[in-house]
Each structure stands twice: as structure tokens, then as C-alpha cells.
Structure 1
Amino acid sequence: MATVPLLSDDEVDPRALAVFNRIREARGTDYINNFWRALAHDPVALDAVWERLSQIMAPGALDPLVKELIYIAVSTAHGCTYCIHSHTASAKAKGMTPEQHAELLAVIGMASQTNALVTGLGVPVDARFEAN
């Protein structure tokens, strides 16, 4: 359940509506995700988050699909169900196959297991890893 109402286009501040329009233009759709509608209560934050996200998720040294896969992994680690669903949809739109999704989930599961074991056992970092 949302802790704030999701604002419609008719309810948002004109500054938020301008951001919504930039989102629509960038994504080639009229749809505005619930995340942006919740964040629209603070037009300054909405603008800042959209601008930063646009920059970070743009093509760069990492392929956009790889960035979405990382986002899914981090969202899983943080328990953000909304983010997992949103970025899984984005990854599929960028070409993620069912096989890649299954492999990603296997890696996330393995990392979670070994992270817990290392933490529980208090394993010290190898000297050769410290140097890097």
C-alpha cells in the first residue's frame, strides 16, 4: 500500500508535469510508472532522480541490459519488490531472454548464500584481494 497518493497528471505541480512529459518523450509512451507518480509530491526530487537515472542508465561502458541486470540484483538484495518487477520488465524490453533471467537469479541466489556464509564465518579478506 502506498504511503502517499499516486498523483494524476491533473493533480501534479506544473514542474512535475514537465518531468512526466520528459519521461514520456524518452520512453516513447504515455505511461508514467507509479514510482514517478509517488515521487511527484516533490517536483525537485522528481526532476533530480529522473535526470540522474537517465544519465546512469544511458548507454556507456556497460550495455543498458547489463545495467538492468545489475539493478535487478541490487533490488533483490534490498528487497524492493517494485524495483524487481520494474527493472525485470525493462530488462525484458532490452532483450533479456528467459535463460538469462534464470541464470541471473541463480547468480543472485549463489551470491546471497556465499555472502551469508562468509559473514557468518567471519572469513578474513585474503591479502592478495586487499592489494587490489
Structure 2
Amino acid sequence: MAQVQGRVATVRPVDEAEASGKVAEIFADIKRTKGLERVPNFWRVLATHPDQLEMVWSRLKALMHPEAVGRDSPLDARTREIIALAVSAANGCSYCINSHTAALRKLGVDDRTLGEILAIVSLFCTTNVLADAYQVQPDVLPPVE
């Protein structure tokens, strides 16, 4: 199905200049936390439902930017972004693939490293499908602490 010229989503995104109240506060927090000059389309679309915008942003901020909420994460920013890219690629979300690839580029990931990440994603998408299709029963289990 062809994309309609100039259309961003199935709803009209909230324009940054028109945002007010909770949405304007969250938009400012997104830009500050992520070091962005503008609010990306994803957040502008979620802003059409302010409660959802707040819930998703709060969760993402806590997990992807733990230092911004005073939380210590055992995962560094690069590892978090690699996980996000891997899941986005496996789910086929082009918006998120581009967003997390851009974040990884900002963190210094080069073409070779990106290729290695995507090769591993591809490998495990394949092995997961095969294990699931063959209904292989798990026989290598992690230890229980």
C-alpha cells in the first residue's frame, strides 16, 4: 500500500508549537533527556493521547536513560541501544530501526559493528524460527539462583 505524500501517521501528530500542559512538559523533557533539537514523530503521534505519551515516555526514560531518573543500570547505553535495535529489527519496525541505529551512531558504532549486530540478529531470528517450527524442547536451562 502506497504512503500518502506528507502523511506521518494514521493520526495528525501534535505540532511542537501547539503543545501545551502535560504534552509540552513531556516534549521538553524528551528533548532535554535525549539531547535533541526537535521532538521526533513517534512522540508527536503518541501526544494525541497524552496519558499514553506520559506512560510510554516514563517507561522509556527509566529504562533507556536511567541516569535521568537517578537509577543505576547494569547495562551501559550502547548495550541498551543494541538490544533496542535487535528487537526493532526482529519486529520489523523501520521507524525504530532508524531511531536506534541513529542513537548507536551517536555512541560511535561504525558500519562493521552495525553489520555484526545485524548478523547476530539475523542468525537468532533464523534459529528461533527453526527451534519454534520444530517444537524443540529446551534442554539447556539456566541455573536457578
Question: How does the TM-score come out when normalised to structure 2?
Answer: 0.82
After superposition, residues 55-74 of structure 1 pair within 5 angstroms as 55-58=62-65, 60-74=73-87
Deviates more, 1:108-117 or 1:43-52: 43-52
Cα distance, 1:130 vs. partner? 6.6
Distance 1:86 1:67 in 2: 13
Match of 2:48 in 1: 41
Match of 2:23 in 1: 16
For the residue of structure 1 that corresponds to 2:141, the secondary structure is helix
Q: Any unmatched runs of 5+ in structure 1?
A: none
Match of 1:52 in 2: 59
For the residue of structure 1 that corresponds to 2:102, the secondary structure is helix
Match of 1:91 in 2: 104
Match of 2:141 in 1: 129
Query: What is the total number of aligned residue pairs between the two structures?
Result: 131
Distance 2:56 2:76 in 1: 21
Cα distance, 1:98 vs. partner? 1.5
**8 A contact 1:12–1:41 mirrored in 2:** no
Question: How does the TM-score come out when normalised to structure 1?
Answer: 0.89
Q: Any unmatched runs of 5+ in structure 2?
A: 1-6, 67-72
Residue 81 (structure 1) aligned with residue 94 (structure 2): yes
Distance 2:42 2:115 in 1: 26
* Greater helix share, structure number: 1
Distance 1:44 1:73 in 2: 28
**8 A contact 1:39–1:45 mirrored in 2:** yes
Identity rate of aligned residues, in percent? 36
**8 A contact 1:65–1:91 mirrored in 2:** yes
